[in-house]
A and B are shown apart, each in its own frame.
Chain A
Amino acid sequence: MSIIRPYGDTTGDGMVQLSFTLPVPHDKRAEGAAVQLANKMGMDPALVVHSKPIGPDFTFFVVYGPVNHLVDTSKVEVIERDYPLLSPKEVNLAIRKGLRRRLTVVGACIGTDAHTVGIDAILNIKGFAGEKGLEYYREVKVVNLGAQVAVPELVRRAKADKADAILVSQVVTQREAHVLNTKEMSAAFREAYAEDARPVLVAGGPRFTEQMAGELGVDRVFGRGTTPGEVASYLVDALVTRRHAYRKTA
């Protein structure tokens, strides 16, 4: 069944909940305005179950109701994982057999972002969601440059450490800074390296979506909730499996 509607407590009821604030004083007119907005969003009938003034000039609403939109799941576009998920043991083995040396990953928070929580979750041995970070992988050499690294410095360290892959994280952002910073990074690497010698570029952070890789100029984007194992598996796929296969056929 590819056509679906939201589910409250009965199949097909289409029920959703919504909360928002309008910049108007709390009165009957404000509630009417909230209903109007919900109607325009496809909720009909819209039930304002809660409204509360926030100071003299704003009103907060919680609205419940059915939406008249239908969702066609067959038309949803997602990037399915196109690489096999490997255990740390399998990752180490693949690197040892395929590369015959350690795989070097250089990671950093670039730009003004000082929040290393994302990059640390992936790189630090501590890890994330019960999975150990890349430092735990014997065959992976991790260079974690930490926070607020300038792009030229990142390129310099990548060259000095002969990086196979670059991981950058962007957590706190405003006015699209995460996009601008990442584009600057990918442009700098494309300028500094020949395309076939360039390290694999990976960007991660809660504000990115996987579809943004092309726009950002990176090879892969990882969004919210990514675990170190997924990143390690991807790196093996990109740097060992694929390059190996490419060399064999070439």
Chain B
Amino acid sequence: MNKKLDLDPVTVRKARSLARKAGKPIVNLARQHTTVSVERAVLRLAGLTGADTEGIPWVNRLADTVRADVGLEHGLALPVWDALLRGEAEDLAVLAQKAASGSVTFRMPEGRDGVRARSAARKAATAGMKRIDGRRRERDRLIKRHGDPEQRPWIYLIVATGDIYEDIPQAQAAAREGADIIAVIRSTGQSLLDYVPEGPTREGFAGTYATQENFRLMRAALDESSKELGRYVRLTNYASGLCMPEIATLAGLERLDMMLNDSMYGILFRDINPIRTFVDQRFSRQIHARAGIIINTGEDNYLTTADAVEAAHTVTVSQLLNEYFAKEAGLEDWQLGLGHAFEINPDIPDSFRLELAHAMLARQLFPNAPLKWMPPTRHMTGDVFRGYLLDGFFNLAGAMTGQGILLVGMMTEAVVTPWISDRDLALQNVRYVLGAAGNLHEDFRPEPNGFIASRARQVLGESVELLDRIVDDGLLNAIGDGTFGLMKRPQDAGRGLDGVARKSPAYYNPAIELLEEGQ
């Protein structure tokens, strides 16, 4: 598969080193700050679950009270476990209830009290981390027992009914029809909730809420399917939006297998504050690394707003940045489902050759990453017949360029949320193409100085130029100027900024300590 394009190794090295230079200041910034969601993730790791009668999770109630008493900048762990050691409550659940009713006051423990609180917090977080480790071992065992899919790419299908109890039979049916990975699309708008809803949910808009209980129900259903089908069926959800760290933690605790996790998506497409996003992203990726979860990045989204030919290099730049941030957080190559998409206007000449060039470039730049190949959406017009053909070409490009994860395109894209028949037809399309041409990549070598190879070199060259500019300007400024997806997002604006605090010298977070020791 490798070395089909004659890319200049010096240019490739330069691209990576520029990405590192652009990313390093962001990592430093992330290390200097914490967010409400990072702190709530510690409470979740320590086992605090449930919500009050208004549906606000106890982790939020407790975090808000502690923050009001002592601020966010020291982290929540010391004041919370100090209160438990002082005998304010027998456990976190009772402490949260008392905090919500205003009958506990929190303080920053000093001296010996501080040392004791630290060790108690660490012990509680360790218990949670052990559960995540156990889940990872359990996945390894189940994969060994049931096996991985026979073919690459793995077939990724979406369910999105809004009702977890409708999602389950649909997901099981999809698995039976050949899906290797089930993604449960989240309800529109969950990204902007600064809490994770609780319990099983039956009401969502264009998707189903990500909750711990929904994760658990779906994973259990797919465990049944894995057993029935003799292959391990993976489950995907979304660690994006304002609660990335908590959702990542819940995913680790409930053995999800893949998570959407992009370094810049929330900033660009949800107008979430850049600093909030980078802090949350780093913590959530550290958790994913620990939990053995494969991340999927969101570069496909740029091409839904910007032109797929003109902006091809922004995808490469974002992949390089996502790779840097992921590795810095401890993720390994096999965990990097870097995203890209088949979004070139089919009416332009040589559109398929351009798609092949871009897809091969990604394949060769990241030879050991699975790569997530996303189907056309922008040029799906409602003409379902033409759309079916376009999806066939998308599948063919995926097979010819050795993509790792193939998100199955629906001919009814932009018309309805997929019907059972849409999914069935889409899977027939995939099966036909993989059956007929799945091994075509063995024979397919683009002409060294032909159209495809030249185009790939051109995109790589443009990527290096853009990275150069980003390094000069600073990544946060580049985001502010609208470099990615044409969206301008200044660092002092956006949602969730009030949930960010600069860490004090007394800051303590046992989860981060454990995660960084493990790296």
Contacts and interface: CB of A to CB of B under 8 A. Distances in A.
B270 A126 contact: no
A226 interface: no
Given A124-B486, A146-B487, A55 B189 contact: no
Interface centre among A116, A120, A174, A175, by most B CB within 10 Å? A174
A36 interface: no
Interface in B438-497: 486-487
Contacts of A173: 205-206
Interface in B179-203: 187-189, 191-192
B432 to A, nearest CB: 14
A114 B188 contact: yes
A21 B206 contact: no
B421 A126 contact: no
Given A117-B378, A224-B382, A174 B414 contact: no
A195 B363 CA distance: 58
A55 B173 contact: yes
B-side binding surface: helix, strand, loop or mixed? loop
B421 A60 contact: yes
A230 interface: no
A126 B271 contact: no
Given A54-B420, A54-B421, A55-B173, A116 B305 contact: yes
A206 B414 contact: yes
Interface string B61-78: 000000000000000000
Given A21-B419, A126-B307, A148 B189 contact: yes
B177 interface: yes
Contacts of B187: 112
Nearest to B424: A54
Contact of B189 (A112, A124, A206): A112
Contacts of B420: 21, 54, 58
Contacts of A177: 205
A173 B382 CA distance: 16
Contacts of A211: none
A111 B306 CA distance: 23
A147 interface: yes
Contact of A175 (B192, B205, B306, B486): B205
Interface in A104-137: 111-114, 116-117, 120, 124, 126
A174 B205 contact: yes
Given A120-B305, A172-B206, A175-B205, A148 B176 contact: no
A113 B421 contact: no
Contacts of A148: 189, 192, 270-271
Contacts of B425: 60
Interface in A10-28: 19-21
A194 to B, nearest CB: 32
Contacts of A114: 188-189, 191, 269-270
Contacts of B307: 126
A132 to B, nearest CB: 13
B182 to A, nearest CB: 15
B424 A60 contact: yes
Contacts of A19: 421
Interface residues of A, number: 27
Nearest to B488: A146
Interface string A143-167: 0001110000000000000000000
Nearest to A60: B421
Contacts of B191: 114
Interface string B140-176: 0000000000000000000000100000000001001
B364 interface: no
Interface in B306-325: 306-307
A174 B206 contact: yes
Nearest to A206: B414
A28 B269 CA distance: 50
Interface residues of B, number: 30
Interface in B351-389: 378, 382
A52 B177 CA distance: 13
A152 to B, nearest CB: 15
Contacts of A117: 304-305, 378
A58 B192 CA distance: 37
Interface string A213-242: 000000000001000000000000000000
Nearest to B187: A112
B306 to A, nearest CB: 8
Contacts of A126: 306-307, 486
Contacts of A172: 188, 205-206
Interface centre among A19, A116, A148, A224, by most B CB within 10 Å? A148
A148 B419 CA distance: 27
A66 B229 CA distance: 43
A177 B420 CA distance: 23
Nearest to A145: B271
Contacts of B176: 55
Nearest to B205: A174
A55 B173 CA distance: 7
Given A21-B420, A174-B162, A54 B177 contact: yes
A147 B173 contact: no
A177 B188 CA distance: 11
Interface string A174-193: 11010000000000000000
Contacts of B270: 114, 147-148
Contacts of A20: 421
B421 A21 contact: yes
Interface in B290-310: 304-307
A37 to B, nearest CB: 14
A175 B197 CA distance: 20
Contacts of A111: 189
Nearest to B419: A21
Nearest to A58: B420
B421 to A, nearest CB: 5
Given A114-B269, A174-B417, 13 more contacts: A21-B420, A55-B177, A112-B188, A112-B205, A113-B188, A114-B188, A116-B305, A126-B486, A147-B269, A172-B188, A174-B204, A174-B206, A206-B414
4 closest cross-chain pairs (CB), A and B? A112-B189, A112-B188, A54-B424, A21-B421
26 contacts: A19-B421, A52-B424, A54-B177, A55-B173, A55-B176, A55-B177, A58-B420, A60-B424, A60-B425, A112-B192, A113-B188, A114-B191, A114-B270, A117-B304, A124-B305, A126-B486, A147-B271, A148-B192, A148-B270, A172-B188, A172-B205, A174-B204, A174-B205, A174-B206, A174-B417, A177-B205
